[in-house]
Amino acid sequence: MMVDMQPDLTDGLTEIVATPKFVPAPDICREPLSIGGVAMPSRFFFAPMAGYSSLALRLALRELGGLGLATTELVNARSLIEKRQKAFELSETCDEEEPVSIQLYGHVAAEMIEATKICIGMGATMIDINMGCPVKKIVKSGGGSALLCDVGGATALVDAVVNASSVPVTVKMRLGWDDATPTAPELSRQFEQIGVSAVIIHGRTREQSFMGTVNLPGIASVVEAVDKITVVGNGDVLTLADAERMFRETGCHAISIGRGALGNPFIFRQLDHWAKFGEPGPDPGFTDRLNLMDRHFHKLVELRGEFQACTQFRKSLAWYQHAIRAPKYLYHQLINLPNVARFDETIAAMRSEGPVGPLPSHFEPKIPTPKGPIDKW
């Protein structure tokens, strides 16, 4: 490691920081990728996360650059058919968002087919089928990771969707139900035969939930099992070094990032810059971070209206405060935000006052995941 005087990355605060040496990006990163004929802007995808991957955030992330495919959080096929408002909100997309995959879960072929058609009508570039959700309510109904236990049934379900879909279909799954039943390679082989365009593999079993570290040899076994479809590696990618290791140790063709992107929303831009130029480009400065906050909030207002935006944005505030280090009194003004005008005034004040100390260059995602015995959640 070299110690260097960096240029002013923090819009007013110069830090002495270590300049790390970056591992080179694998050659594959510079090759174009298309999935089912749809061109991907990059090989770095935003993973679906219930409660987090809203349209507003996806659009704000896309504007930062470097994002390949974004996926909505999982939506229940039957709820879409029953025209439930919440289901339509979860799967909402718009013209500015492309490519985007709408993720469906369910286990009844007729419902999955009908929901697929609804999603295509809503603008989905692709349909993603969830076979990874470990939550008891979903598993008990036969959806999510329960499908990993029935290769024949899962293949028939996916086949029905592929045949009914005019857009590419992908499947996101875990490695298997538990260590004794690693079904992902066999399922992926079957899915390739019936026309699935890509599989996204979270390198954990259902039993592992979110514990332990991601199993890279497990993802590699899926890459070996298929002939030519895209395998997207997923799990625990927080840094460039993690991404490099995921490519190198698994042979995957693209990477999907969930919690790492909530911790560091600039990760796609940094990975894409690394893929092209060998290093992540300049750290996001105070203005970049504040602009992201501004865009994210205003997207929410456009989509959900003033009242909902003011309430929903509260969830993201702690992260932004950590990232921008605004004076405390300004942060407090945003906690019980009454309206858009107050947000705009506060952001203007934050811009003129600047941060109260050096900005963190390392972001940790603090996303709660279910804990305790898996049968209880």
Q: Can residue 367 be called a binding residue for ligand FMN (CB under 6 A)?
A: yes
Instruction: CB nearer to ligand FMN: give 138 or 275.
Output: 138
Instruction: CB nearer to ligand FMN: give 134 or 185.
Output: 134
Token duo for residue 308: 């909902």
Q: How far is the CB of 265 from ligand FMN (least distance, A)?
A: 13
- DSSP states of 277-332 as a string? HSS--SPP-HHHHHHHHHHHHHHHHHHHHHHHHHHHTHHHHHHHHHHH---HHHHH
Instruction: CB nearer to ligand FMN: give 75 or 226.
Output: 75
Residues annotated as part of the active site? 133
Q: Can residue 182 be called a binding residue for ligand FMN (CB under 6 A)?
A: no
Binder among 91, 130, 190, 346 for ligand FMN (CB under 6 A): 130
List C-alpha distances in Å: 33 to 37, 166, 214: 9, 20, 24
Residue 65 identity (one-letter amino acid):
G
Binder among 68, 168, 235, 265 for ligand FMN (CB under 6 A): 235
Pairing of strands 100-105, 75-76: parallel
Binder among 110, 369, 371, 377 for ligand FMN (CB under 6 A): 369
Q: Can residue 106 be called a binding residue for ligand FMN (CB under 6 A)?
A: no
Binding mask 146-175 for ligand FMN (x = CB under 6 A): --------------------------x---
Q: Can residue 143 be called a binding residue for ligand FMN (CB under 6 A)?
A: no
Q: DSSP letter for 208, please.
A: T
Spatial CA neighbour of 361 closest among 259, 293, 292, 284: 284
Binder among 36, 99, 132, 168 for ligand FMN (CB under 6 A): 132
Helix (H, G, I), strand (E, B) or coil at 184: helix
Token duo for residue 49: 């996360």
Instruction: CB nearer to ligand FMN: give 19 or 369.
Output: 369
Note whether 261 and 238 are within 8 A (CB): no
Instruction: CB nearer to ligand FMN: give 10 or 53.
Output: 53
Torsion of CA 258, 262, 264, 269, to 10 degrees: 60
User: CA–CA separation, 44 vs 29, rounded Å?
Assistant: 9
Q: How far is the CB of 258 from ligand FMN (least distance, A)?
A: 3
The site that binds ligand FMN (CB under 6 A) totals a number of residues, namely 24
Which residues, at least 6 apart from 27, have a Cβ–Cβ distance to it below 8 Å?
Answer: none
> Which of positions 48-87 make contact with ligand FMN (CB under 6 A)?
48-52, 73-74
Binder among 236, 244, 288, 294 for ligand FMN (CB under 6 A): 236
E strands, 203-243, where?
230-234
Residues within the interface to ligand FMN (CB under 6 A): 47-52, 73-74, 103, 130, 132-133, 172, 202, 234-237, 257-260, 367, 369
